[in-house]
A and B are shown apart, each in its own frame.
Chain A
């Protein structure tokens, strides 16, 4: 699993598919999530595109695409029940899956130890 400075996690599945979500730390900081808007399947994304809107009781935030690729699946469960993002952010409450060509895009991101250090 890799982590970004924007508090997203990326997990490699088979066939060049990457699952993306937000970290426990991010979910805790956001507070109770009440709204999630996900991209359409088939959307071609570039790094730093605003791909997800997430609103908590406190504020609205964007999730930026951490990599270039194509959205192949989104997690409708968190649209129907946004509170799941607080319950299990690094498990069932993943956000979307991206198919990518270039796996080296992940190289620059932190591993778990580095991320833990990053959030202090």
Chain B
């Protein structure tokens, strides 16, 4: 066999290249493995770093690949398909410790007000104990990274993508210091517990988590450790993301895995879960050229930051982004359902007709959706072709295959509002 989209041989290296490619960062800079030296949690001097759960992944039979400079499990013995289905049916435990955890603390300047210089989002109005999705924009109105911002009372807690974290920290330092203290945490792991059983499982360790609603954040003691918990995730399911001191991470993971409803889930299923949920992957569905409006993320831009809002503009690329909010952009990110069984993966060109010469757009993420039971994709198309029901054609191995524009998510979200 020869591999078309992965490496040249069907070894574990396939996964490696596949997933190495999947989190490339458009946020300026070469993210070669081992290029970052700030993470003191990493036991080695060079090469891919390890999360505090590395040994546990090996013990659980995780197939390790390099991803954003880290050794991460792409799957466990259960396999991508069953891991995906298990997360939708019960609960899955993900190690996302490679992501960047950053604290912003007010000194001479209010951290929330200051952060609004970098994101088109209402940070100043974010209530204590609440979290909000945001994106760092650039002067051209593109997206440098997407992130979560939580108001934890005396500080903001920000979580950014692994491949972008060095650039994000540099960006925040340049824009916010010295008025605001910017601290990249290197002593905390990050776990995600996702799925309909997540509440019951986590409540077994501390019933307080039952009271949390979608996007609430709280400090909760779990397995003896002080954890920063948010009710959120990247799967379209109810669940929690848990920042835990590195030294306590393995004990917490074991306590969660001890529950019969919990399986460990790798990066492979994380990708198919978020794809079905219609969620963007940075470097693929959004990048330095796509604006939040094109990406269908206008909902994340609150009224107060829009034209005529009390704090209108004032973020990079405001001119383009505010204009697109009113005039509608030339292209839009849409959901795509191939009519046949062939998956349409990233890079597949989209055409208006079976025989037209020039593509009108491109698939930015695509694959097989285990819950949908069919291939699915997302990509950018001209605004005139973005209405659900529009038929387009994706070119796969030289053949034009019919694909239909559909609303996202592909699977209904199960958040606890």
Q: Which of A6, A59, A79 has the most CB of B within 10 A?
A: A59
When the two chains form their complex, are residues B15 and A55 in contact, meaning their CB atoms are under 8 A apart? no
Known contacts A6-B2, A62-B1; A55/B343 CB under 8 A: yes
B82-123 vs A: 1/0 string, CB under 8 Å? 100000000000000000000000000000000000000000
**Contacting chain A: which of B5-13, B156-164, B240-248?**
B5-13
Of the residues B1, B272, B342, contact of A57 by C-beta under 8 Å: B272
Known contacts A30-B10, A62-B2; A35/B272 CB under 8 A: no
Q: Cβ of B358 < 8 Å from any Cβ of A?
A: no
Residue of A nearest to B63 (CB): A31
A35-49 vs B: 1/0 string, CB under 8 Å? 101000000000000
Give chain B residues whose Cβ lies under 8 Å from the Cβ of A17.
none
Q: Cβ of A7 < 8 Å from any Cβ of B?
A: yes
In whole angstroms, how far apart are the Cα atoms of A17 and B29 in the complex? Answer: 56
In whole angstroms, how far apart are the Cα atoms of A58 and B16 in the complex? Answer: 11
Q: Cβ of B397 < 8 Å from any Cβ of A?
A: yes
When the two chains form their complex, are residues B368 and A63 in contact, meaning their CB atoms are under 8 A apart? no
Give chain A residues whose Cβ lies under 8 Å from the Cβ of B272.
57
In whole angstroms, how far apart are the Cα atoms of A8 and B2 in the complex? Answer: 11
Q: Cβ of B38 < 8 Å from any Cβ of A?
A: no
When the two chains form their complex, are residues A32 and B2 in contact, meaning their CB atoms are under 8 A apart? no
Q: Cβ of B79 < 8 Å from any Cβ of A?
A: yes
When the two chains form their complex, are residues A61 and B10 in contact, meaning their CB atoms are under 8 A apart? yes
Give chain A residues whose Cβ lies under 8 Å from the Cβ of B397.
53
CB distance from A66 to the nearest CB of B (A): 11
Q: Bin chain A's interface residue count.
A: 20 to 34
In whole angstroms, how far apart are the Cα atoms of A103 and B5 in the complex? Answer: 33
B161-200 vs A: 1/0 string, CB under 8 Å? 0000000000000000000000000000000000000000
Residue of B nearest to A58 (CB): B18
Q: Cβ of B285 < 8 Å from any Cβ of A?
A: no
- B207-239, CB < 8 A from A: none
Give chain B residues whose Cβ lies under 8 Å from the Cβ of A35.
341-343, 368, 375
Known contacts A26-B10, A55-B368; A31/B343 CB under 8 A: no
Residue of A nearest to B340 (CB): A35
Residue of B nearest to A79 (CB): B341
Q: Cβ of B4 < 8 Å from any Cβ of A?
A: yes
When the two chains form their complex, are residues A32 and B80 in contact, meaning their CB atoms are under 8 A apart? yes
B5-45 vs A: 1/0 string, CB under 8 Å? 11000111011001000000000000000000000000000
In whole angstroms, how far apart are the Cα atoms of A31 and B82 in the complex? Answer: 11
In whole angstroms, how far apart are the Cα atoms of A64 and B2 in the complex? Answer: 8
Q: Cβ of B367 < 8 Å from any Cβ of A?
A: yes
CB distance from A78 to the nearest CB of B (A): 12
Give chain A residues whose Cβ lies under 8 Å from the Cβ of B1.
6-8, 22, 26, 30, 54, 61-64
When the two chains form their complex, are residues A59 and B80 in contact, meaning their CB atoms are under 8 A apart? no
Residue of A nearest to B373 (CB): A34
Q: Cβ of A114 < 8 Å from any Cβ of B?
A: no
When the two chains form their complex, are residues B3 and A59 in contact, meaning their CB atoms are under 8 A apart? yes
CB distance from A116 to the nearest CB of B (A): 16
CB distance from A109 to the nearest CB of B (A): 15
When the two chains form their complex, are residues B11 and A61 in contact, meaning their CB atoms are under 8 A apart? no
When the two chains form their complex, are residues A58 and B343 in contact, meaning their CB atoms are under 8 A apart? no
Q: Cβ of B75 < 8 Å from any Cβ of A?
A: yes
Q: Which of B15, B272, B368 has the most CB of A within 10 A?
A: B368
Q: Cβ of B345 < 8 Å from any Cβ of A?
A: yes
Of the residues B2, B5, B79, contact of A31 by C-beta under 8 Å: B79
Give chain A residues whose Cβ lies under 8 Å from the Cβ of B75.
31
Give chain B residues whose Cβ lies under 8 Å from the Cβ of A61.
1-4, 6, 10
When the two chains form their complex, are residues A60 and B341 in contact, meaning their CB atoms are under 8 A apart? no
CB distance from A49 to the nearest CB of B (A): 12
CB distance from A46 to the nearest CB of B (A): 16
CB distance from A4 to the nearest CB of B (A): 9
Give chain B residues whose Cβ lies under 8 Å from the Cβ of A83.
81
Q: What are 18 sample pairs from A and B whose C-beta atoms fall under 8 A apart? A: A7-B10, A30-B1, A32-B81, A34-B343, A35-B375, A53-B342, A53-B397, A54-B1, A55-B342, A55-B368, A57-B268, A58-B268, A59-B5, A59-B14, A61-B1, A61-B3, A61-B4, A83-B81
